Each structure stands twice: as structure tokens, then as C-alpha cells.
Amino acid sequence: MQKEFIRKHGGPAPRYTSYPTAPHFHAGIDADVYARWLRSLTPGQTLSLYIHIPWCDRLCWFCGCNTKQTLKYDPLTTYLAALSHEIDTISGLIDPGCRVTALHLGGGSPTMLRPDDMMALNQALRSRFNFDPDAEISVEMDPNDLTADRYDALAAIGMTRASIGVQDFDDKVQKAINREQTFDQTREVVEQVRARGVRSVNCDVLYGLPHQTRHSVDRTIKQVLSLTPDRIALFGYAHVPWMKTHQKMIDESALPDLTERFAQMNHAASALTAAGYTAIGIDHFALPADSLAIAAASGAMRRNFQGYTSDTADALIGLGASSIGQLPQGYIQNQPSTGQYQRQVNLGRLAVVRGFELTTEDRIRARIIELLMCDFAFSFAALRQEFGAPAESILDEAEYLAGCDTDGMIEYANGLLQITAKGRPFVRSVASAFDSYFGTGVARHSLAV
């Protein structure tokens, strides 16, 4: 029965880092629309900046990010010059009274940047945007890139959170995904950033990788716990070779099946909660004093393209090739081709190629899905207060859905719809019931567990 239940509810579903999801973005949202949205931001509104560095010095076969490999630094030099032009153009359209409360450097491998380039990028951003003194600065880190002068540069730009990709420490698994990284390397990163005053460390761990078993995942979890990270992200490997062709290098016959993936997830989650971490959403764990755990406990946690976050900025501004932004009106995405991106921004143009403008119905469905993904529940009264009469038909859908549930996934009582403990691992599948775009178009998705 358990296997049948997992197969029924654990099939492909979006990760819901946005609603509608990125496959439904379209070219009707162009540079003119984006410029209008940027100009509409008003003094005092808060901004979160995301900088995409789409380069790595090795290509990990499991990776689902928009990135490419280079063994030369010249492409990064050219890219950073173009990024500076985009910073100038975007900042020129935003009221200088808007405040930056968060900056996230993602990739790719931002830690590939040379120390002087990291410092120059930071200076370009701070000279064009109004940063809060306590703005959170988070950086995704590859232990294989890091040197003493790079650590010093990251400290100098004010990094407050280090996010370290671990994936798995098992040698056989690492070879199968082309990501060789020792435990000692990872421990060195944690020690070095903490020695420089970084107050929050996150480690990413994957399950569902080739050759993984629940026992090998358990060994990795124990090693990660010995580092006492403030947060741990426990992600299920998303095998999407139709989107990421380098994933074809992974032997599909070595991938655990759906029930083994589910067992690996549960086994790891139990170990983390037993170690004192708070379970947050579908895939995060944090020490009780961490800002994400505090946000989750207070109902202030949000979900965006970086996943679960305590960042409540009014707008997310994406900078760099393929980066995605979120403004009050909707979403935009930049040109994914680095060559075309560079040509556009070097001419002083916005690099947006597609996006989505939200309707009132979209906003209601987006809020319901976000609440389910973050809190596993939503209040009918709160949605009526936020959206008024337009929410009624969707709330009728929710009540009907709860009434039709024969698998014990959902409970509805006293105006509160909740996902049960049994249903929580499958919340992506429940959320998809509120997705009016799901199943339309040609989008394909990874497994829901």
C-alpha cells in the first residue's frame, strides 16, 4: 500500500519557486514592460538583488542550473564588464530611495571570481544601489575554488551567509556525478568563513543520486552534522536530461527508484530532526535560532527562486544571464545565452526575453500555493481579507478538493485547510491541484519526492 501511495502522489510536479512556473513565461513581457515595472518602484520599497555568475571550472553532471564550464578566466572578465553595464542600466530605472535589504550571489560558481573582481562587483553594486547597513549578503560556494585571498574578499564585501554545496561525501557517488569534494575540504570552508565572522552557514545535501542508499545518505548526514551548519537543505536530485543534456552522463540504471528515494528522504529528515534541527517546508532544516527557523515559526517565511527564504523584499531584481526577477506586477527572465546577454546590456538595453504579468486569479493561486509550500495550510478568512470576493471561487475549489480526498492528505475544518502529516511529503502534488496551468503546454517536471 505504501508503494502504491508513493507512486500515486510522488510523480512529476513543479517545485513551485514561482507561480506560474517558468515554463509558462512568454515573450510578451519585453524590455518596455520591464522598464515600466522598474520605474513604478517607489521610495522606501525594499529590493533583493540576485547576481547570476553562469560559469564553473568543472561541470557537475547532476546540476540543474544555467551554467557552463570554462578553464579560462577571460570569459568571466568579459562577462563582468557586461554585468557592470546592466547594473548601470537597471539602477538608472529604479528610484534611488529604494533600499537593498539582501544580495545573493549564485551560479555557477561565484567563488570562481578573483578577489579584485569580487571587490569591484561589490563596489559597482553599492555605488548604484542604496544598501541597508545590515543587508544580508549570501554567496554560493564551491570548496574547490577557494583560497585565502578569496575568503578575505568575501569577508570584505560583508558576506553574512555562506551556502556550501556538499551533495554527498561517498566516493562512488561523487565519481558518478563528477563532483569530487572531500569532507576535509568542506570542513575547511566552514572553519574559514566562521573565522571571518560569517554568522550563518548552509550546507546542501542531495538524495536520489546514482548509487545512493539510505545508509550512504545517513553517513553523509552524520558528517554534515559534525560541522554544525545553521541550515541544511535536503534536496531530491531532479533528473531532467531532456532539459540538462549533461545529465545524460549519469547512469540512469544506478538511480534509486521512487520508493527508495522516499526512504532516503525520510531517513535523512529523521536524523536531522533528532539532532535538534527544525524541519522547514519540504526540504530545509535549521537550528532554532536561525533566521529561517524564526521566520517559519512566525509565518513570515516566503518562497522564491532561491527556495525558502526569510527575505521579504518588495521586489527581487535579477542581474546576469538567465536570471529571474520578481516584481509586484509579475516575473521577468533575462536572456540565457551569455553571448546575446552581453551584446544587449553592452548597448545599454535590458536583457529580458520573457516573463509573466499576474492577473488577480494568478495572485490568489500563487498565494495559496506559497502558503501550502511554506506552512502546509491556509486560512480562508485570511485570503478573503487579502483578496476579497475574487477569492471565493478558488476557495470553493479548495473545499471541494478536501471533500474529495480519500487518501488522508488534506483536512478542512473551521475555515482552515491543512495538509496532514501523511500528505506533507507530497505537498507539491497537492499544490498542483491549485495550478490552473499545470498539464498545459510542453513543460515536464522532476519527481515530487
Which pLDDT tens digit goes with each residue over 150-208? 999 999 999 999 999 999 999 999 999 999 999 999 999 999 999 999 989 999 999 99
Angle at 23 between CA 17 and CA 25, to 5 degrees: 90
Q: Looking at residues 108-127, what average pLDDT do you find?
A: 97
In this prediction, residue 6 carries a pLDDT of 85
d(CA 242, CA 282): 25
Q: Which residue has the cell 507512486?
A: 7
Burial (CB count within 10 angstroms: exposed 0-12, middle 13-18, buried 19+), residue 22? middle
In this prediction, residue 448 carries a pLDDT of 61
pLDDT digits (tens, 9 = 90+) for 51-97: 999 999 888 888 878 888 898 999 999 999 999 999 999 999 999 99
Under the banding of pLDDT at 50, 70 and 90, the label for residue 224 is very high
Decide if 83 contacts 121 (C-beta within 8 A).
Answer: yes
Name residue 315's beta-bridge partners: 47
In this prediction, residue 441 carries a pLDDT of 63
Q: Looking at residues 308-336, what average pLDDT do you find?
A: 97
In this prediction, residue 68 carries a pLDDT of 85
What is the average pLDDT value for the chain, to the nearest integer? 95
In this prediction, residue 62 carries a pLDDT of 86
In this prediction, residue 300 carries a pLDDT of 96
Number of residues that this document lists for the chain: 449
Q: Looking at residues 364-387, what average pLDDT do you find?
A: 98
Query: What is residue 66's DSSP assignment?
Result: S
Q: Which residue has the cell 551533495?
A: 167
**Candidate from 198-207, 414-423, 433-442 with smallest mean pLDDT:** 433-442
Under the banding of pLDDT at 50, 70 and 90, the label for residue 379 is very high
C-alpha distance from residue 72 to each of 68, 112, 131, 329, 340 (Å): 12, 11, 32, 40, 20
In this prediction, residue 87 carries a pLDDT of 98
Comparing CA positions, the residue from 370, 230, 224, 368 lying closest to residue 292 is 230
CATH fold group of domain 360-432: Arc Repressor Mutant, subunit A (1.10.10)
Decide if 356 contacts 349 (C-beta within 8 A).
Answer: no
Give CATH for domain 11-357. Answer: 3.20.20
In this prediction, residue 67 carries a pLDDT of 85
In this prediction, residue 221 carries a pLDDT of 98
Comparing CA positions, the residue from 77, 97, 88 lying closest to residue 351 is 88
In this prediction, residue 443 carries a pLDDT of 61
- The cell for 90 is 537597471
Domain ranges of the chain: 11-357, 360-432
The answer to whether residue 404 scores a pLDDT higher than 70 is yes
**Candidate from 92-101, 236-245, 386-395 with smallest mean pLDDT:** 236-245
d(CA 276, CA 271): 9
Question: Are domains 11-357 and 360-432 of this chain identical in fold?
Answer: no
Name residue 413's beta-bridge partners: 416
In this prediction, residue 306 carries a pLDDT of 87
Taking the model in full, what pTM does it have?
0.94
Under the banding of pLDDT at 50, 70 and 90, the label for residue 4 is confident
Provide the 10 A C-beta neighbour count for residue 436. 13
Under the banding of pLDDT at 50, 70 and 90, the label for residue 444 is low
With pLDDT > 90 as the criterion, what percentage of the chain qualifies?
88
The answer to whether residue 442 scores a pLDDT higher than 80 is no
